Amino acid sequence: MSRQRCKQGGFTLLEAIVALSILAMAAMALYGWLNSNLLLLKRVDEVYQSVEAVESALEWVSILDPYLHPDGEQEIAGTLVTWRFVPVGGSLPAKDMHGNLSVNDAQLFRAEVEIRRGDKRLARFDMVQLGLQAKRSPEELIF
């Protein structure tokens, strides 16, 4: 009687361990890649929110009259905008586009602006703004 060897189809234990190890390494690499992308996405979202807050604050402060509102704070869309206008130099008589004296005096102001959301400071910047203040009556001007 001859003995025949019975061939089995399938994996040996060693082959299964090697396959699982390769699969685990690939899964860890994929997890690391996804985690870094999620962190990057979170950072991009924070920067985008900061940019929106700065644009809103810049728009708000640019419409303020430095003479009427020399300093203050305003809540805009969940962010606190704080500003302070500091005069730069002295005021000068303003002229119209034809070079004639106007009723206003003009002065430059440096605006110090800070934007906060909760305890976190999102941004701090300075900008220069022109302030106009009525100093003469129209009757004083010669047309």
Instruction: Determine, yes or no, domain membership for 7.
Output: no
Instruction: Determine, yes or no, domain membership for 119.
Output: yes
**Per-residue pLDDT tens for 89-124?**
888 888 888 888 888 899 999 999 999 998 999 889
Domain extent, residue 102, equals 13-140
Instruction: Determine, yes or no, domain membership for 8.
Output: no
Instruction: Determine, yes or no, domain membership for 23.
Output: yes
Task: State yes or no: pLDDT of 1 exceeds 60.
Answer: no
Beta carbons within 8 Å of 56's beta carbon, 6+ residues apart: 76, 77, 79, 81
Locate 37 and state its tokens: 């992308």
As for how many domains the chain has, the answer is: 1
